Amino acid sequence: MAELNGRPVRSAELQTLALTNYGHFTTMRVEAGRVRGLGLHLERLVRDCRAVFGTELDPERVRAYARRAVPGDGPVVVRVTVFDPALDVGHIGADAHPRVLVTTRPAGSLALPPLRVRSVRYLRDQPAVKSVGLFGALRHRREAQRAGFDDALFVDAESAVSEGGTWNIAFVRGSQVVRPDADCLVGTTMELLQQVRPGATERVTLERAAGFDAAFATNAAIGVRAVSGLDGLAFPADHPVIAELAGEYAALPGELL
């Protein structure tokens, strides 16, 4: 399903998104009409619209468009993409009138196998914005998968860990959760986990990562997922803190869309 401003989208309107690829988005998992961290998703869209287009976005209008797209039963992943079909590469500086594209796909299980990731030196353009420009992140994901890993984990020039292409990472020391202090997009799932288990924020290099007991990834579609390998470093996939966090996240009631 794909709707633009609450009506079926036309192929011509998607050309700008495909060819110019300028905009921002958020992805939500909807279960029984509810979204964990719905307010955070809407805040992100409003904030990013100011940063990307210099305009205001009505969160209640977005909410209404997203609500239309949700089927009567079954969990789905709803992606809300904000872009302006009238902007093109040659006239990207024109005044923007962004529209809201809502797409849906079936949601997978939250019980996923652990990730094995490979570190790569990379920083997303304007990391605090969830932009549609995913070429760099997907290129590194493809190369990691071709090399036998599941995904890529971004580090800076001094090997300090930041994030994955579409997920956050955190580490476990004893019973404490440690999140990297780095330029990255803090996802809604990680923000919700910070509320239930505050933990600490530290600069985590690849060298220091070896001193942690476990690691895990988060995003709205997958919830909490163990990381069992980072380069040549192995972590346990069944650490009790990760299991507790996954349970606490799954138990969050969510907000009615």
Out of 106, 136, 169, a domain closes at 106
* Token duo for residue 211: 């001193």
Give the model's pLDDT for residue 155. 98
Q: Is 3 helix (H, G, I), strand (E, B) or coil?
A: strand
| Counted domains in the chain | 2
Burial environment of residue 50 by CB neighbours within 10 A (0 to 12, 13 to 18, 19 or more): exposed
**Bridge pairing between strands 7-8 and 223-230:** unpaired
Give the model's pLDDT for residue 71. 78
- Under DSSP, the state recorded for 90 is G
CATH code of 188's domain: 3.20.10.10
Q: Is there a single domain that holds both residue 242 and residue 133?
A: yes
Tell me the pTM.
0.93
Low-confidence ranges of the chain (pLDDT < 70): none
Q: Which helix (H) or strand (E) holds 171?
A: strand 168-173
**Amino acid in the structure at residue 50:** R
pLDDT tens-digit series, residues 41-65: 999 999 999 999 999 999 999 999 9
**Amino acid in the structure at residue 56:** E
Give the model's pLDDT for residue 112. 86
Distance CA 84, CA 241 (A): 43
- Structural domain for 83, as ranges: 2-106
